[in-house]
Amino acid sequence: MRRQIGLVFQDTTLDDYLTAAENLRFHAELYGVGAAVREQRLDALLEMVDLNDRRDDLVSTFSGGMKRRLEIARGLIHSPRVLFLDEPTLGLDPQTRSHIWEYINELRRRETITIFLTTHYMDEAEHCDRIAIIDHGSLVAIDTPDALKATIGKDRIELHVDDAETTMAELAERFGLEARLSEGTVTFHVADGEQFVPRLFAELTQPIRSIRVARPTLDDVFMAYTGRTIRDAEASAGERLRNHAMRWRRTR
């Protein structure tokens, strides 16, 4: 079972006195990866995380971001069937985050790997097939991203038209929609806005200059289920850790 599982911890667990390549080789040997496959995957993974030029350098000389990238490579070296990622891209620059996710998504498609991910980055949560929201240790919601968004409200559609008043009257008569005018924009809410747009163009007699469909975001979902924003949640977690550290120091 252990050979089927990969894990990237939130805190670094690398061997600082080994080089980057030695860390990966040691991990691969522990998981029984053959020499030929090991070197092939080692090269590909170091290239992916942009550490190939530092492969023979001691990890003790790496920055925090470089260590994080190496740990992700280490978690993938044995081609696990299930990969656990505990905030794996924390502290990485946007380009590296994007590159890593391209590889992870390709790995999942190619090898049908299952990935469990914890993150505060909502753009990363969008990659997931299912999302679980945990608040104070309790599971408060679990579903697909689209289904979770659908639970907190309809999509907002904004129209720019020549005759706003006539358009609003027609929306009420033809579609039973209550629209409002705000700064020259006709706004209303419907379920499945993207699917409604073709019908709107086909049946609305007033010409549409432009249209925008705004869907609820995962930040909106988190706020709706917990009453707090992601940033508030991070701050609360940080405060709990600081309080725990202070209590620990007092007991020493």
* pLDDT tens digits, 40-86: 999 999 998 889 999 999 999 998 888 988 998 999 899 888 989 99
Range 8-35 average pLDDT: 93
Any idea which of 28-37, 57-66, 209-218 has the lowest mean pLDDT? 209-218
> What's the fold here for domain 2-118?
Rossmann fold (3.40.50)
User: pLDDT value at position 153?
Assistant: 76
Domains 2-118 and 154-214 share a fold: no
Backbone φ, ψ for residue 159 (5° rounding):
-115, 140
Whether 242 has a pLDDT exceeding 80, the answer reads no
Q: Per residue in 106-137, pLDDT tens? A: 777 777 788 898 988 888 888 889 999 998 88
55, burial (CB in 10 Å: exposed 0-12, middle 13-18, buried 19+): middle
Show me where the domains of the chain are located.
2-118, 154-214
Token representation of residue 1: 């079972």
What is the percent of the chain with per-residue pLDDT over 70, rounded to a whole number? 90
Top pLDDT among 67 and 220 is at 67
- Cβ within 8 Å of residue 160, ≥6 positions away: 184, 185, 186, 208, 209, 210, 211
Average confidence (pLDDT) over 228-249: 53
Name residue 161's beta-bridge partners: 208
| Distant-in-sequence, close-in-space partners of 135: CB < 8 Å, separation ≥ 6 | 225, 226, 233
pLDDT value at residue 231:
55
Residue 149: what pLDDT?
86
Given this model, what pLDDT does residue 68 score? 85
pLDDT given at position 1:
85
State the pLDDT confidence band at 218, using cuts at 50, 70 and 90. confident
Q: Mean pLDDT of all residues in the chain?
A: 84
Q: With contact defined as beta carbons under 8 Å apart, do 77 and 41 qualify?
A: yes
For the chain, give the percent of residues with pLDDT over 90: 36
Q: Domain 154-214: give its CATH superfamily.
A: ACT domain (3.30.70.260)
The confidence band for 251, taking pLDDT boundaries of 50, 70 and 90, is very low
Q: Which of 160-174, 208-222, 227-241 has the lowest mean pLDDT?
A: 227-241
